[in-house]
Amino acid sequence: MTFSLPTHVTQVISPEGKLVSDPPELPPEQLVEFYRWMVLGRVFSNRMVALQRQGRMGTFAPLNGQEAASVGLAAPMMDDDWLVGSYREAISFFMRGIPITAIMEQWAGYIPISYSPATNVMPIQVVLASQMPHAVGMAMAMQYKKKASAVVAVIGDGATSEGDFNESLNFAGAFKAPLVTVVQNNGWAISVPREKQTAAEYIAHRGPAFGMPGYVVDGNDVFAVFKTMETCLERARAGEGPSLIEVITYRMGAHTTADDPTKYRPPEELAEWEKKDPITRYRIYLRTLGLLNEEKEAGIEEEVRQELQIAVERYESERPAQRAEKYFDLVYNDTPPQLARQRDELLQFLNRER
């Protein structure tokens, strides 16, 4: 079967907040919930950057601008599904049940004590595209176990140039694995713009090339992402095979707190994308529906800030306790004798020094 190359960008809510095609059928609370997740994401991201500046956090990759995509991709997932992502989808992780502290721990270079695989989320992956074969393998495992569930893999535009991305799409196609791959095309891979990353007009063209449908979606439009995800997840759960979705969005901040985008990116571009802000757009739409107003919005923001404050406090109160002691138990399930000796020697030394 040959799938055709996608030619247009799916959109439901325009940048002006107007419907341009049918919205998904969702209860009003869930529509507001989406908004709350987006706000949480942005507040979280800004707070992380601030913590990093204050020396209270490691290098962090802000997610500003990509909130709609992260919400839209996670929202239609079911409990048995798994999320296998990279490092800029904290909101999707939160929506799956990963606590905020777990993400803080990982960026801080800290044992992820509050992470749990029972959330059906793999830890953040910082090596580009490395999560892709994991996602495929997990989808194959679901298939083997005859589960009607799916894996959602998330990856950046730049990372699609890695061998692992392509090997994985090919595996997924060949095994008809229940995998939905979302490319968060935010226009940049650090300083490398999307046009230099690949000569194809759309990354989603890789879909048909590997025997699966490809979709291009407005990534700043939570409904467009949600609807396309629903289609693809259904396809996957029904045993019809994998899909590839490219969501077109924009990284509004720096690549990470260690990056200075003014070195390589024209300020006009950011200005252009600010007009397409996913949160503003969705807020206007929800106001039209009467689901939001200034007061409700302020309430949500306050609620979200408090949630974050609690997370920061928990993260910081538990942090100082982690020293070399904890290291040795994590290498193997059973510590081999030489490692035990190395542990004893090191701890003895450190205890003497402390």
Ligand X SMILES: Cc1ncc(C[n+]2csc(CCOP(=O)(O)OP(=O)(O)O)c2C)c(N)n1
Residue 256, CB half-sphere, CA atoms under 13 Å: how many?
A: 13
Given the rule CB under 6 A, which of 3-11, 150-158, 267-275, 332-340 is the region that contacts ligand X? 150-158
| 315 tagged catalytic | no
Task: Enumerate residues 61-90 that contact ligand X by CB under 6 A.
Answer: 88
CA atoms of 274 and 253, how far apart (whole Å): 11
Task: Enumerate residues 212-271 that contact a second copy by CB under 8 A.
Answer: 212, 241
Asked if 2 interacts with a second copy (CB under 8 A), we say yes
Pair type for strands 192-193 and 188-189: antiparallel
CA atoms of 65 and 277, how far apart (whole Å): 6
| 264 tagged catalytic | yes
Give every CB contact of residue 227 below 8 A, 6+ residues apart in sequence: 10, 12, 24
Give every CB contact of residue 304 below 8 A, 6+ residues apart in sequence: 36, 39, 40, 43
Asked if 163 interacts with other proteins (CB under 8 A), we say yes
Closest to a second copy by CB, 31 vs 172, is 172
Binding partner at 186 among a second copy, Mg ion, other proteins, none, C-beta below 5 to 8 Å by kind: Mg ion
Task: Enumerate residues 152-181 that contact a second copy by CB under 8 A.
Answer: 161-167, 170-171, 173-174, 176
> What x-and-dash track marks residues 243-262 binding other proteins by CB under 8 A?
---------------xx---
Q: How far is the CB of 60 from ligand X (least distance, A)?
A: 12
Q: Which residue has the tokens 């989320």?
A: 121
Asked if 197 interacts with a second copy (CB under 8 A), we say yes
Q: How far is the CB of 55 from other proteins (least distance, A)?
A: 10
List the one residue out of 122, 178, 124 whose CA is nearest residue 156. 124
Give every CB contact of residue 75 below 8 A, 6+ residues apart in sequence: 30, 34, 95, 222, 226, 229
Q: Which of 87, 94, 210, 273 lies at the binding interface for a second copy (CB under 8 A)?
A: 210
3-state secondary structure of 165: helix
Closest to Mg ion by CB, 255 vs 281, is 255
Could you tell me if residue 239 is left (phi over 0), alpha (psi between -120 and 50 degrees) or otherwise beta? left
CA atoms of 123 and 42, how far apart (whole Å): 21
Closest to other proteins by CB, 287 vs 319, is 319
Residues lying near Mg ion in the complex (CB under 5 A) are found at: 156-158, 186, 189
Q: Which residue has the tokens 């029972």?
A: 118
| 251 tagged catalytic | yes
Binding partner at 212 among Mg ion, a second copy, other proteins, none, C-beta below 5 to 8 Å by kind: a second copy
Radius of gyration of the chain, Cα coordinates, nearest whole angstrom: 21
Binding partner at 29 among other proteins, a second copy, Mg ion, none, C-beta below 5 to 8 Å by kind: none
Q: How far is the CB of 165 from a second copy (least distance, A)?
A: 8
Task: Enumerate residues 114-143 that contact ligand X by CB under 6 A.
Answer: 126-128
Asked if residues 95 and 75 have their Cβ atoms less than 8 Å apart, the reply is: yes
Given the residues 255, 281, 283, 315, the one annotated as active site: 255
Closest to Mg ion by CB, 5 vs 190, is 190
Task: Enumerate residues 80-139 that contact other proteins by CB under 8 A.
Answer: 82, 84, 106-113, 115-117, 122-124, 126-128, 130, 132-139
Asked if residues 165 and 226 have their Cβ atoms less than 8 Å apart, the reply is: no
Give every CB contact of residue 301 below 8 A, 6+ residues apart in sequence: 39, 43
3-state secondary structure of 59: coil
Binding partner at 267 among other proteins, a second copy, Mg ion, none, C-beta below 5 to 8 Å by kind: none
3-state secondary structure of 246: strand
| Single-letter residue type at 135 | A
Q: How far is the CB of 273 from other proteins (least distance, A)?
A: 19
Which residues form the interface with ligand X (CB under 6 A)? 88, 126-128, 156-159, 184, 186, 188-190, 251, 255
Catalogue the active-site residues: 251, 255, 264
